[in-house]
Structure 1
Amino acid sequence: MFRLSAEVSHEWERRTTLRDYHAGHIPKEELCDADFLLKAAAEHHGTDSARPCPICEGVMQDVLWIYGDNLGRRSGTARSEAEIDEITGQVGPITVHRVEVCRRCGWNHLLTEARAEPVPD
């Protein structure tokens, strides 16, 4: 299994964005802009989020995206935890972004960034 370290939370930005939306400073269309690929990644690679969508109260998915120079064409793709475990075993540490996505209204927000590294046997 891999372990996550050096995690950076984007919860503060999420709360600020939602506060500005509810105050009428940000239009819904600006927040609910998930494109086809992001929604498809949520459908095929996402796991149900612990909280409902802050815009439409729908079920959201958390999607893991991987990044790293050592990944080649796999960088910038959505992956399951099992795939991330396999990939870190092959190439070493990578960066993982956790994004929440609502497939109903299109809300999406980066939740965390972290370094994923293989756990030695």
Structure 2
Amino acid sequence: MWSKRQEVDYALQRRSVLRAVQGRQRALARLDACDADPLLVRTARHHGEPHPEACPVCSSDEMVLLHYVFGDQLGQYAGRVKSRAELDAMQSEFGEFMVRVVEVCPACRWNHMIAAYLLGDGVTRKPPRRQKTVEDIYG
């Protein structure tokens, strides 16, 4: 991704949460840390891309990454999960949009946002025309 900019890495926050779960004092219960929404877990199972690391909580190899996209220029496509290949194509189609990367373990429901960054070619465009969805057709 050649246009990646304004990247924020949440590694320190992640490490702090993991230390609270796994440390001697166990300031944070595992159930409080592994609290992924059922919809997020389902999305991870069906749309997640394999993560090279094992889950830091349960050591499962099922951990995946989800790339959520947001931005005014995306129109109705904002808030959706995209693959890395789709992100590569999108960065030349849209001027600017935010990508938030979330790691999810479907086995124990661990989840944490690990990065956020901007993509796009910088050329301001109008959002694409809204296409009818199933909700529009059937109510």
Q: Normalising TM by the smaller chain, what interval?
A: 0.7 to 0.9
Q: Which structure 2 residue ranges, 5 or more long, are not aligned? A: 123-139
Residue by residue, what CA displacement relative to the aligned partner does 1:16-74 show, whole Å, maximum 9, x if unpaired? 11111123111111111112221122222211111110111012001101111222222
**Equivalent position amino acid for 1:73 in 2:** Q
Q: What does 1:37-116 correspond to in 2, within 5 Å?
A: 37-59=39-61, 60-116=63-119
Query: Whole-Å Cα distance in 1 between the matches of residues 64 and 81 of structure 2?
Result: 12
- The structure 1 segments of at least 4 consecutive aligned residues displaced by more than 6 Å after TM superposition are none
Q: Higher RCO, 1 or 2 (CA under 8 Å, sep at least 6)?
A: 1
TM-score (norm. length: structure 1):
0.87
Task: Indicate the structure (1 or 2) with the bigger Cα radius of gyration.
Answer: 2
Aligned to 2:93, what secondary structure does the other structure show? helix
Superposed CA deviations along residues 49-103 of structure 1, whole A, max 9, x for unmatched, are 1111011101200110111122222222211122223333333221001111001
Alpha-carbon offset, residue 2 of structure 1? 5.4
Q: Normalized per residue, which structure has more strand? A: 1
**TM-score between the two structures when normalised by the length of structure 2:** 0.77
Percentage of pairs with the same residue:
34
Aligned residues: 119
